[in-house]
Amino acid sequence: MSQRFSRVSQGRAVTLCAAAMTLSACNFQGTIPDGDGGDAAGDDTVLVVFRNLSSTDAVQVDFHAASGITNIPDDLFVSENLITQDIGVAGTGIVQPLQFDFLREFPCTGDLLLGTSGGRFLDNETGELRGTGQPRWVEASAVGFCGGAVTFTFVSDGEEFRTEVSITH
């Protein structure tokens, strides 16, 4: 899937906190974008957000997107559906500890699938693999996320590695 995505610096300031078991303090801050000028996203786009709530591990989000496939997850999690461009540090798909990134105005159709094979949690200093999360995906036709936001959240306490997905409109 070869598509370009636009990024903006406008948005509303929010503070995001992990569950008490993963972070002892609420020190994750950033700006998650609103739609154009504060309005909701258009019905033909979706905002895709990647939140890393780990305080020690970077996360390679392993984000995939595809349309018109039926053999899920096997046909979703293939190299031609992997998207790293515009995600994380220098387009590597890696989001640093306690940071987030997003794809704004991601083209959205009724048969779009968005997912992560779970994410790879990496030691932020050495790059060593520390663990993987669980595969998560959502289908636009099943949950109607076009015009809204899909958020993939990666949580680690150093021993347990979790991946969650949520949808908002």
What class is the 39-168 domain?
mainly beta
End-to-end CA distance of the chain: 25
Nearby residues of 48 by Cβ (< 8 Å), 6 or more positions away = 63, 102, 103, 106, 114, 149, 150, 151, 152
Domain-by-domain residue ranges, the chain?
A: 39-168
Q: Which of 18-22, 27-31, 37-41 has the lowest mean pLDDT?
A: 18-22
Q: What's the CA gap between 106 and 141, in Å, rounded?
A: 16
- Please tell me the predicted confidence (pLDDT) of residue 112: 96
Residue 19 has pLDDT above 70, yes or no: no
Mean pLDDT of 147-153: 96
Q: Which of 11-15, 50-54, 92-96 has the lowest mean pLDDT?
A: 11-15
Q: Where are the beta strands (DSSP E) in the chain?
A: 12-16, 28-32, 45-52, 57-60, 63-67, 82-83, 94-95, 100-107, 112-116, 120-123, 129-132, 136-139, 149-156, 161-168
What mean pLDDT value characterizes the chain?
A: 80
- Please tell me the predicted confidence (pLDDT) of residue 47: 96
Q: Over the stretch 77-126, which tens digit does the pLDDT of each residue have?
A: 999 999 999 999 999 999 999 999 999 999 999 999 999 999 999 999 99
Q: Strand 63-67's sheet: what is its strand order?
A: 82-83, 63-67, 112-116, 136-139
- Please tell me the predicted confidence (pLDDT) of residue 9: 27
